[in-house]
Structure 1
């Protein structure tokens, strides 16, 4: 999508007259959204664009027949410490019944100010009887990653939502450890329990990988850290 779209997103973010984080309009048969936060979660929860910079935003267009496409900039690259990143995506989403639907598409990750840094991801998801399952393949110049995702919905005994991710990462060039051994690949995973409480969203997440010690120098996976980690988060939306 053209450069003016992400510039328009930046203007939305910086405009003091707009209190909400999303503008929605109807353009012919298309539903148009301009937002400072991701307006879409890919493959029913598998790939979710996240804001990594101080300035971020994007556009999304969807058609009643299930086709959608858009562009999201996790980082506008407007500060010296940030790099411009653009996520362009196209997909198709359809729901056959209230309990059965699917989604498939592709995301192109680009860094206009860098060379040989672009990559892409293919994704697909299935929703069935309140549960969601998905898979993705991400190909970068240095790493190929296959990811599986499952969200089983609300667990009746604990009254919480349960989801998990498992990923396998294959290096293009083996990583050399300080002990002389090489790492060709690694696996990582995360388990998440969520529930609303007094207007807040509470999340409990456990993450880990099969790397340890000096092997963690090679880690660049789906989690924030290589080692075992437990995270508690409380989030409240004001808009």
Structure 2
């Protein structure tokens, strides 16, 4: 079922200038979206637009039904550089609004690395959409580790036109990692992002950090691109 999806991901990834672009079309009772950023869903809080240190070629698709069922696929890293491997994130879920202000969503994401199959993993997620703000939780239980994530996207509030999103994750390692003075069995990391559109440019200020520091960072394998505190300013502009 996913082979055609993988092909479409590759087509989108060939358009590096299509930053944050989405193509949308109705197919009967289905709504098809192709884009260079994850589609609007609870999965958007978990699927990363780009991998840490990865190349800029990424994209995917999302197909949703009027009943609330949806599925899709996104590649945050096409693995075009020798330092990174192809990653394909496939998800399926169901979302249902109670009214215009409240709804819920549940689903499953499969993280696939075709060249590194032992690293494949699954993640369950669920959450609420309240007045356009998304609050969610996810849990993954892999053979070598367990990860639990809380995330929030205050896109429905945006004070002063500034979007705010947060993520906090705890990581429990199946095999402790030896470090100087002992071993690391668990750690946590978090990130806080502020975003705002300004004169056609998407500005993002991101702060990330973890519970590890110094020599203990050799055991870090979390969501952030760096173990220690990192402040990043990103600016992106769509060319069409």
Shorter chain as denominator, the TM-score bin is: 0.7 to 0.9
In 2, are the aligned partners of 1:41 and 1:49 still within 8 Å (CA)? no
- Residues 1:207 and 2:173 are matched in the alignment: no
Q: 8 Å contact 2:12–2:58 — kept in the other structure?
A: no
Normalising by structure 2, we get a TM-score of 0.83
The aligned residue for residue 33 of structure 2 is 33
How far did residue 3 of structure 1 move?
Answer: 2.1
Correspondence for 1:161 among 155, 160, 163: 163
Q: Deviations over 1:80-99 (max 9, x none)?
A: 44423221110112222221
Q: Which runs of 5+ in 2 are unaligned?
A: none
Structure 1 residues 11 and 236: CA distance shift in structure 2, 3 A = closer
* Shift in Å, 1:127: 1.5
Distance 2:158 2:37 in 1: 27
In angstroms, what is the RMSD of aligned CA positions? 2.8
What residue is the counterpart of 2:75 in the other structure? 73
Distance 1:31 1:207, change over 3 A: same
Partner of 1:57: 59
Q: Is the Cα contact below 8 Å between 1:44 and 1:127 reproduced in 2?
A: no
Total equivalences in the alignment: 235
User: Does 1:184 find its partner at 2:185?
Assistant: yes
CA contact (8 A) 1:24 1:34 kept: yes
Q: RCO (CA 8 Å, sep 6+): is it higher in 1 or 2?
A: 2
- Rate the CA distance shift 1:79–1:206 in 2: closer, same or farther, 3 A: closer
Q: Give the match for residue 48 of structure 1.
A: 47
TM-score under structure 1 normalisation?
Answer: 0.84
| Alpha-carbon separation, structure 2, partners of 1:120 and 1:113 | 17
Q: Secondary structure at the match of 1:216?
A: helix
